[in-house]
Amino acid sequence: MTGQYVRNRRRVGAGLLTTAVLALIFNPGIAYAGPVPQPVDLGAAGSLAVLGGSSVTNTGPSVLTGDLGVSPGSSVTGFPPGVVVGAMHVADADSAQAQSDLTTAYNEAEGRTPGTSGLSGLGGSTLTPGVYQGTSLSVTGTLTLDAQGDPDAIFVFQSSSTLTTASGSSIVAVNGASSCNVYWQVGSSATLGTGSTFLGNVLALTSITATTGTAIDGRALARNGAVSLDTNTITAPQCAPPTLHAPTHVTATAGTSSIVVSWHAPGGGITPTGYTAVAHPGPATCTTTGALSCVLGGTAGVSYTVKVIATADGNDSEPSEASNHAVPTAPVVTKGPPDTNLTLTTDQGDITTVEPGQDLVVIGTGFAAFSTVTITLFSDPTVLGSVVTDADGDFSAPVTIPANPSVGGHTVIASGVDPDGDTCAMKLEFDVPPFMPVTGSPVTGIVLLGLGTTLAGAALCVLGKRRRRMGRGAH
């Protein structure tokens, strides 16, 4: 790749990014195309409707559905006339823990990589799940958050400075979007305009001011400063745990005695910590701790489909949709024995000599589970049979040595694949000794032959003596 080509690609990429950002600002219908975000864990702060760092003040008949807390400050004023439908935690252990967890959540939200940066005015836009960043964010008119049918869809907004909403502005959730999953990380302070309708959880470094008549479906959580209220309605949502979704786009590719399975991570919900791929017909499986592919052992000639299950914290997702069909092939018999240092054993232990027509049980290990292994006799390749390994990738297979092998060295090869789908072979080397075509073993034949020769020699000696006697009598 030439330097000029690389520079051109960089210019094109930068141009596309700039176009995407400008389109988002000026085209309210643009869809987000960045990475799929995960929930922000609020910890103990999740039980609160309002949390202040220094104080919480209220004017008028505000109604808070959820707990109210303040820490490390201890000033709470204006209740009544304000009403808290929940508990009040003033500089106690619960509010201190909530502040600690808020700090963790704030830092985690701030540290996420945005899919879209350089934003300012969000009013009039329709946004899909993602991480959005700007120096100072504002909402005038209506901002629509479209979950696209996913109730676990996450929206994270990062403002390095302020967040302001105009009087009468609104944030609207559609197609499954929920205030449980909307987070506003604010680098200084947030001000919500008079009579506005706000959606989501404000995580502000300094202070939060909700002006007269503001309604919040979410939470107002300030780390260091005050939360100031004026005739507001704040409802902390009751949020169900996020869902562990099934993987998608499962693909099966047939190999030698194996299937390579790949898939896509589920979008939204809980982030899986591992996956299990399950073959049908079973019982072959393979697992990963996060990788999006693995290898299954397979019986040659069998048609398989595969489903994948995501796992997290000891829980399993529903199985994915089934993959395409894949049919593994049998190991290829080569002209000569492959090079291997792995040795087969037998039911008779380690042997070095085998007789023609002898029955053996060869024993192997280290192959892919439930995969086909082909057993071949060399020099002239003669397939003695095949066997399917067990769940540990081991096998024991009866074979019969042909009745007419040549005298000398021979090798039995067991060939297949290892658990990674790579070629695997084991060998048994032995000699076939010289033998005679008589009943019994080659050794017995040799003994009988020697005995017959001895008897014949003795008979010739007796006959010779008789002839010599007859010759002397004639004289």
Task: Give SS3 for 126.
Answer: strand
CA distances from 194 to 209, 232, 313, 349, 431 (A): 10, 10, 44, 88, 96
pLDDT of residue 30: 39
Task: Give SS3 for 199.
Answer: strand
* Choice between 8 and 119, residue whose per-residue pLDDT is larger: 119
Bridge partners (DSSP) listed for residue 230? 59
Separation of alpha carbons 195 and 210, rounded Å: 9
pLDDT in tens, 299-351: 999 999 999 999 998 899 999 999 999 999 999 999 899 999 999 999 999 89
Separation of alpha carbons 467 and 461, rounded Å: 10
CATH topology of domain 345-432: Immunoglobulin-like (2.60.40)
pLDDT of residue 447: 38
pLDDT of residue 453: 41
Separation of alpha carbons 132 and 144, rounded Å: 14
Runs of H (alpha helix) within 1-110 = 3-26, 93-110
Mean pLDDT, the chain, whole residue set: 86
Class of domain 248-316: mainly beta
Give phi and psi for 459, each to the nearest 5: -65, -40
- What Rg do the C-alpha atoms of the chain give, in angstroms? 40
pLDDT of residue 141: 97
Please report where in the chains the tokens 């807390």 appear, as a residue: 69
pLDDT of residue 434: 86
pLDDT band at 374 (very low <50, low <70, confident <90, very high): very high
Tell me if 375 sits within 8 A of 414, measured CB to CB.
Answer: yes
pLDDT band at 132 (very low <50, low <70, confident <90, very high): very high
pLDDT in tens, 69-118: 999 999 999 999 999 999 999 999 999 999 999 999 999 999 999 999 99
Tell me if 359 sits within 8 A of 403, measured CB to CB.
Answer: no
3-state helix, strand, coil in the chain (%, to 5): 15, 40, 40
pLDDT band at 35 (very low <50, low <70, confident <90, very high): low
| Res. 448: pLDDT tops 90 | no
Edge-to-edge strand ranges of the sheet holding 258-264: 248-255, 258-264, 293-297
pLDDT of residue 474: 42
Tell me if 263 sits within 8 A of 251, measured CB to CB.
Answer: yes
Separation of alpha carbons 330 and 413, rounded Å: 14
| Res. 425: pLDDT tops 70 | yes
Which string of DSSP letters, residue by residue, matches 237-265? ---PPPP-PPPEEEEEEEEBTEEEEEEEP
pLDDT band at 150 (very low <50, low <70, confident <90, very high): confident
pLDDT of residue 270: 83
Task: Give SS3 for 226.
Answer: strand
